């Protein structure tokens, strides 16, 4: 039992330090602030935006940025700033829901396949290997092609594509934890497999799981933007940065702001997640920092 206490204590200490170390690093701070900005935009979208996202001002089409329309208007006269703000909400919701789908299923499959060896492990990993063998965007496009384009199907597609990464990460960490003494201790005092899994192994696999989730969130947001750009993700008039950028292409010379703002926000979001992911990895695993 002493092992359990020691590990729990160690984890608490590291958890406290992670945020501190993360914010002490300038890059970590920048990434954190970038994400905070996007989250604030998403949460307070109704208070920040000036207009309804679908509100058409036919007299004010293709207006350059000005005091009324901060980021200008698009070809329908819709306010780009409001659409960007609501677009943050769409990006984050799709990212969070799809990563939750992937993480939830991947976590369960990873724990099961890591703990129980033999036929269960082989069959789970076989399915995962097949899913992993697909280039991810291709699998997502295939699923959407079959199910049809909608926000829910986009989330399902991105979720399914990300399951194997989580399964593999969790499985690997379960396997290494399983060989530690405290699991043998727990077994020797007669705990059932289910209790050992839920109470001891699952909480200890969380660290690698969290890093993976941050990375997956950035790739999920990117996949959504790409699919929407291709016209196979979020459908207009719902504002998605990807589809806004795609719609802007026909008007890019007349109204460059239609291109620039969605592109900037996509770049800002992905960049912030990547910087934060890098900083998080450096903090959690200083050995990798070269």
Partner 1 sequence: MKNYIIRRLLTLIPVLFGISVAIFLIMQLIPGDVVTGILGIEETPELRAMWEKRLGLDKPLVVQYINWISGVVRGDFGESFRTGAKVFPEILARFSISAELALLACIVAWIIALPLGVLSALKRNSISDRIVRIIALLGVSVPNFATATLLILFLALAFGYYSPIRYVSFLENPLVNLEIMLFPAIVMGGSMAGSVMRMTRSSLLEVLRQDFIKAVRAKGAPESVTIMRHAFKNASIPIVTLVGMQMGILMGGTVVIEQIFSIPGLGQYLLTGIFQRDYPIVQGTVLFMAFIYVFINLLVDIIYTYIDPRISYS
Q: Would you say 217 or 232 has its CB closer to partner 1?
A: 232
**Is 134 a binder of partner 1 (CB under 8 A)?**
yes
Q: Would you say 72 or 177 has its CB closer to partner 1?
A: 72
Give the nearest distance from C-beta 140 to partner 1 in angstroms: 9
**Is 270 a binder of partner 1 (CB under 8 A)?**
yes
Give the closest residue to 166 by CA, choosing from 218, 112, 101, 102.
102
Stretch that binds partner 1, among 8-16, 72-80, 123-131, 190-198 (CB under 8 A): 123-131
Distance in angstroms (rounded) separating the CA atoms of residues 43 and 48? 9
Give the nearest distance from C-beta 239 to partner 1 in angstroms: 16
Give the closest residue to 81 by CA, choosing from 225, 268, 264, 270.
264
Give the nearest distance from C-beta 182 to partner 1 in angstroms: 32
Phi then psi for residue 79, to 5 deg, are -75, 120
**Is 30 a binder of partner 1 (CB under 8 A)?**
no
Query: Collapsing DSSP states into helix, strand and coil, what is residue 175?
Result: helix
Give the nearest distance from C-beta 229 to partner 1 in angstroms: 5
Q: 150 and 144 in contact (C-beta within 8 Å)?
A: no
Task: Report the residue from 232, 276, 279, 283 that binds partner 1 according to the rule CB under 8 A.
Answer: 232
Distance in angstroms (rounded) separating the CA atoms of residues 25 and 290? 15
Give the closest residue to 8 by CA, choosing from 210, 179, 173, 204.
204
Distance in angstroms (rounded) separating the CA atoms of residues 116 and 113? 6
**Is 119 a binder of partner 1 (CB under 8 A)?**
no
Vertex 54 angle, CA 48 and 55, to 5°: 85
118: left (phi over 0), alpha (psi -120 to 50) or beta: left
**Is 260 a binder of partner 1 (CB under 8 A)?**
yes
Task: Report the residue from 23, 93, 137, 172 that binds partner 1 according to the rule CB under 8 A.
Answer: 137
Stretch that binds partner 1, among 37-45, 79-87, 185-193, 267-275 (CB under 8 A): 267-275
Distance in angstroms (rounded) separating the CA atoms of residues 248 and 239? 13
Task: Report the residue from 145, 184, 210, 250 that binds partner 1 according to the rule CB under 8 A.
Answer: 145
Give the closest residue to 99 by CA, choosing from 221, 207, 274.
221
Task: Report the residue from 2, 59, 119, 133 that binds partner 1 according to the rule CB under 8 A.
Answer: 133
Task: Report the residue from 13, 120, 142, 152 that binds partner 1 according to the rule CB under 8 A.
Answer: 142
Footprint of partner 1 (CB under 8 A): 126-127, 129-131, 133-138, 141-148, 222, 225-226, 229-232, 242, 245-246, 248-249, 252-253, 256, 259-260, 263, 266-267, 270-271, 274-275, 278, 288, 290
């Amino acid at each position: 039992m002493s092992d359990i206490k020691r590990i729990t204590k160690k984890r608490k200490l590291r958890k406290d330090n992670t945020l501190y170390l993360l914010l002490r690093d300038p890059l970590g701070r920048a990434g954190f602030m970038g994400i905070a900005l996007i989250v604030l935009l998403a949460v307070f979208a109704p208070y920040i935006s000036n207009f309804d996202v679908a509100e058409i001002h036919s007299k004010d089409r293709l207006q350059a940025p000005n005091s009324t329309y901060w980021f200008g208007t698009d070809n329908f006269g819709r306010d780009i700033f409001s659409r960007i703000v609501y677009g943050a909400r769409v990006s984050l919701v799709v990212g969070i829901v799809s990563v939750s789908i992937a993480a939830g299923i991947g976590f369960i499959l990873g724990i099961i396949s890591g703990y129980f060896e033999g036929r269960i492990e082989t069959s789970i990993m076989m399915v995962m290997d097949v899913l992993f063998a697909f280039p991810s965007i291709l699998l997502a496009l295939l699923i959407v092609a079959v199910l049809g384009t909608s926000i829910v199907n986009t989330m399902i597609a991105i979720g399914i594509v990300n399951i194997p990464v989580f399964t593999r990460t969790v499985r690997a960490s379960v396997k290494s934890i399983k060989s530690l003494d405290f699991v043998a201790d727990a077994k020797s005092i007669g705990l059932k497999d289910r209790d050992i899994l839920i109470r001891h192994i699952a909480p200890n696999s969380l660290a690698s799981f969290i890093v993976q989730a941050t990375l997956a969130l950035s790739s999920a947001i990117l996949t959504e933007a790409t699919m929407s750009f291709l016209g196979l993700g979020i459908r207009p008039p719902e504002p998605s940065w990807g589809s806004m950028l795609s719609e802007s292409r026909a008007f890019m010379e007349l109204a460059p702001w239609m291109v620039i703002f969605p592109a900037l926000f996509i770049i800002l979001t992905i960049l912030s997640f990547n910087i934060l992911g890098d900083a998080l990895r450096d903090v959690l695993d200083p050995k990798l920092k070269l």
